[in-house]
Amino acid sequence: MTYNNKYSSKNDSIKAELNQNSANQHNEKSEAREIRAEEIYFDEIWSNSRRALLQSSINHTVSSNGKLKNLQYILSTVAVLKDQISHQTDEIISKITEIQRELIAIDSTHYYYPIEILHITLVGCTPFYDDMSNLTPERIEKIREICNGILKPGRGHVKIDIRGVNVAGSSVFLQGFGHDNKWGVLRKEIIDALRIHEENPLEFPEVSHIHMNMMKLTHKEPHKLEELVNKIAKLRNVSIGKLIITNVDLMVTDMLMSVEETRCVEKFYLL
């Protein structure tokens, strides 16, 4: 190799490295903007819900024993926390358990999600129905095939930073922040595919929004709600952990994903 060729090769290598560094910096800035947008979104929810809670102007859909006042069914894709294959999962479960204990110590009469049903919804593939007659075997199979074409090995894991406790209506939830918008991409692909096949999936204000319900408020006792609000305010930015999602289930379930009302149709592995 001549001197000029060596020089040119090294020059090309330096340029490639600089371009890669520039691309990485661009991605980091883009990710930071997306996370900041999610923080603003969650802050607005907190501001509105905190006010409603202190005024006791929320509607309750669940009794303290976890029974829905209006039982409805849906076909949904969800990532069940306990099923995610990662060493971080146990740490996250431990931290959520501790947070639930702190809230139970203030008021145990609300409904607290059992650890085994904690989940993040990807897409509600159908509307909610009062009975199962709309979720026929043929329709379930059609939606299963649609999801199978998207949620398949090779898509790669999804990393979500679980951070902060929040409230929306009667739901107390954990906030999720996607690292690369993979969750939003998967969500949009499924929604678009369902619509092409004349299904009516549930809408999201933004496909990037991620949350995990952990508790349902079941009453409006002012002094206890105020104590809960103050506790949640202290947990607004608590770090729970980085969840690695490796699989997603298609489930027939209800609004709470109650054990007795839930049936797994298929588990899709992303790795």
pLDDT for 153-199, tens place per residue? Answer: 999 999 999 999 999 988 999 999 998 889 999 999 999 999 999 99
Query: Which residue range(s) make up the domain with 99?
Result: 3-269
Q: What pLDDT sits at residue 190?
A: 97
Q: Which strands, in side-by-side order, build the sheet including 210-216?
A: 111-112, 210-216, 171-178, 158-168, 239-245
- Report the SS3 class of residue 254: coil
Q: Are 259 and 117 in contact (CB under 8 A)?
A: yes
Q: What pLDDT sits at residue 251?
A: 97
pTM (2 d.p.): 0.85
Tokens standing for 114?
């059992």
CATH code, domain carrying 43? 3.90.1140.10
**CA dist 55 → 52, 208, 221, 235, 236 (Å):** 5, 30, 10, 21, 20
Q: For tokens 């090995």, what's the residue?
A: 153
Q: What pLDDT sits at residue 11?
A: 64
Candidates 33, 11, 45; CA nearest to 172 is 45
Q: Are 256 and 74 in contact (CB under 8 A)?
A: no
What's phi and psi for 102, nearest 5 deg? Answer: -65, -40
Q: What pLDDT sits at residue 23?
A: 44
pLDDT along the chain (271 residues), means of 10: 59 58 54 82 92 75 70 95 94 97 94 95 96 95 98 96 94 93 94 96 86 90 85 96 97 91 96 93
CA distance 269 to 154: 9
Q: How many structural domains are present in the chain?
A: 1
E strand residue ranges, the chain: 74-80, 111-112, 119-124, 158-168, 171-178, 210-216, 239-245, 247-253, 263-269
- Report the SS3 class of residue 58: coil
